[in-house]
Structure 1
Amino acid sequence: MVYKKTNESTSDLMTIIQERKKARNAIILAHNYQIDEVQDAADFVGDSLELSRKAADTSADVIVFCGVHFMAETAKILSPQKTVLIPDIKAGCPMADMITVEKLRAFKAKYPGRPVVAYVNTSAEVKAEVDICCTSANAVKIVDSVDADEILFVPDKCLADYVAARTTKKIIPFSGFCPTHHRILPEQILKQKELHPNAIVIAHPECTRAVLDLADGIFSTSGMIRFVDESPEKEFIVATELGILHRLKRSHPDKSFYSPSEQTVCPNMKKITLEKLAWSLEDMQYPIELPQEIIEKARGSIERMIAVT
């Protein structure tokens, strides 16, 4: 069966998705940056690693990951016995694509003997070649746990800079970055502060230092959600991808959330639609396939991180 947007309403697609999910014994994961409707269709919404770990603990046979490619790969690494699907195979991550295995090896050769910490926003092949992974939430703790004074950090130079300001270790960063977070400018934050003087500024560490310096709190996306959940404040300027505002507004209709710019959109995160999610469950597309050797090595770098945290 093929579903056409012109033939199916949102409610019809939601019904189809739930029916196919049940038939496949599937679980649907959606990253916080996905479009509103996809978040609403998901069983779990959250950060990439958080979602993969939750899925691994379920009895589902199929994981449908509504996110970008490296996230679906991570789900496969942690659940190799399950079928992992990504509804749009072209939903990639520009930052993750900035560090290839070849570039990683050249980086390591330039600084021999230094251990490598890799942000989870990397391919499975890169994860398989590093010493340990980290998330934006635990990056400082992971770096501090490594038995070395100098550490290579890939791929995000902004997260590396954030960590460097909070550790005594020397961080040698790769030159990658998130194009979406780089579009957030300090003058945009200042403009929003003028418009909403009582608002609290929360920012993702993938933002530039100039933006982070204006923030009242710096968090991963899940950290932002927890902060808002626990905060008595009623207004927030949220310096990260726009998709998170849907979850925040749904959980806190009594609070107000402002984005620095309407251009703070990751086009890759928006590629997955309800139609593509329905097709994915119907046709079992697109499956993530990884060599067993890569899975085992990459899982080692993730498990070493989990052991620290």
Structure 2
Amino acid sequence: MSQFLSPLTSPLLNKLVDGPGGWSGIEADATWAAEIKRLAAERNAVILAHNYQLPEIQDIADYTGDSLGLSRIAAETDADVIIFCGVHFMAESAKILSPEKTVLIPDERAGCSLADSITAEQLKEWKLEHPDALVVSYVNTTAEVKALTDVCCTSSNAVDVVASLPADREILFCPDQFLGAHVKRETGRDNIYIWAGECHVHAGISGPELTRQAEQHPEADLYIHPECGCANSAIYLAGEGLVAADRVHMLSTGQMLDAAEKSTSGSVLVATEIGMLHQLRKAAPAVDFQPVNSRASCSYMKMITPSALLRCLAMGADQVDVPTDTASAARASLERMIAIGQPGGGE
């Protein structure tokens, strides 16, 4: 169990308001930014922000990126406290990789529909149906699910991870059905079983939407996250010659940033959560990045507000712990992935 953090004083605390959508009452102005930096220094804390966070949270963070990449960075710092601005499973991953550090999430109510789409009990039952199968779990899962997993994967290395496993072994892939379909298509394996889970935000980015946007922006490149419901449509558009194949890119969020920095395109349609646009536009200001679905916003990610971050730093809340035995087993599944190579970042 991590050491409890004593509260620190802040003149902004009396402005905090807790509501159904999270903590509010504090504006992300210069006073707030200075107070965040002061409190972080007093805690010896490192602030991590996922690419889907609010722009003001991304801009105040010490590091911004994918969940697993951020957790690995935090493990290498000399910080005593990790503040993970993301959803709950991400903070768990940080604790798994940094068991000696105190890990806080600004609002413990920030969950994940994808991680919640498979429980440890459901995975146990699935394994009983396929006793000789190997379990490959996306990092967007709870610590309990990772602990029952043979090897984890990210969206950037899922194909490599599955391809590295013995061809005669059945694979149970969870929890994302769209990423699983991408892996099955790329590896050509017919002995892979895919859990019917999804991220409600990515699943809502539909094929008809993508087709309509591609028709309206005929010169735009397409950056498609493999979790998206439109992933198969992107492959179809390229296969039918409706979109040039070299304009269709299936990418993790980290790979999107790498592609943006090298882009020679004037415009890009982006199929992922809209928070990603902030980092893409910073990486390549000359490129016109537009969302395939402008409503693709994760309400859980947006619970990490400026007010929530200040409360977290000042009050030492909300602390994230993972039982030692669960953390040890989950860490092993992550380390097996890293040993394969190409660990990528996260989603």
TM-score range, shorter chain: over 0.9
Aligned to 2:333: 301
Look up the match of 1:253. Answer: 285
Deviation digits for residues 174-212 of structure 1 (CA, Å, limit 9, x no counterpart): 111111011111221122223322110110000134333
Kept in 2: contact 1:115–1:148 (CA 8 A): no
SS of 2:180's equivalent in the other structure is helix
The CA deviation string for residues 233-258 of structure 1, in whole angstroms up to 9 with x for no partner, is 12100000000001111222211011
Going from structure 1 to structure 2, the CA distance change for 1:211 and 1:267 (only over 3 Å counts) comes to farther
C-alpha RMSD of the superposition? 1.3
In 2, are the aligned partners of 1:116 and 1:152 still within 8 Å (CA)?
yes
Q: Which moved more, 1:66-75 or 1:211-220?
A: 211-220
Distance 1:195 1:3, change over 3 A: farther
Q: Choose the corresponding residue for 1:151, options 159, 171, 179.
A: 171
| Partner in structure 2 of residue 45 of structure 1 | 64
Matched, 1:205 2:229: no
Answer whether contact 1:3 1:279 (CA < 8 A) is retained.
Answer: no
Q: Match for 1:247: what amino acid? A: Q
More deviation in 190-199 or 10-19? 190-199
Do 2:210 and 2:234's aligned partners in 1 also have CA atoms closer than 8 Å?
A: no
- In the alignment, the residues of structure 2 paired with residue 222 and residue 189 of structure 1 have an alpha-carbon distance, to the nearest angstrom, of 21
For residues 8 and 245 of structure 1, do their structure 2 counterparts lie closer, same or farther at Cα, with a shift above 3 Å needed?
A: closer
**1:140 and 1:167 in contact (8 A); partners too:** yes
Q: Could you tell me how far apart the structure 2 residues matched to 1:119 and 1:143 are?
A: 11
Question: Is 1:271 aligned to residue 303 of structure 2?
Answer: yes
1:190 corresponds to 2:222? no
Q: 1:203-237 deviations in whole A, cap 9, x for unaligned?
A: 00001343332470000000011011112112100
Is the CA contact (8 Å cut-off) linking 2:96 and 2:327 kept in structure 1?
yes
TM-score (norm 1): 0.97
Paired residue for 1:223?
Answer: 255
Q: How many residues align?
A: 309
Write out the 4+ residue segments of structure 1 that deviate beyond 4 Å after TM superposition. Answer: 5-9
Q: Sequence identity of aligned pairs in percent?
A: 46
Match of 1:82 in 2: 101
Taking structure 2 as the reference length, the TM-score comes to 0.86
Residues 158-197 of structure 1 aligned to structure 2 (within 5 Å): 158-169=178-189, 170-197=191-218
1:134 and 2:137 are equivalent in the alignment: no
Task: Identify if the C-alpha distance between structure 1 residues 7 and 186 changes in structure 2 by more than 3 Å, giving closer, same or farther.
Answer: closer
SS in structure 1 of the partner of residue 186 of structure 2: coil
Unaligned runs of 5+ in 2: 1-9, 16-23, 238-246, 342-347
Counterpart code for 2:331: R
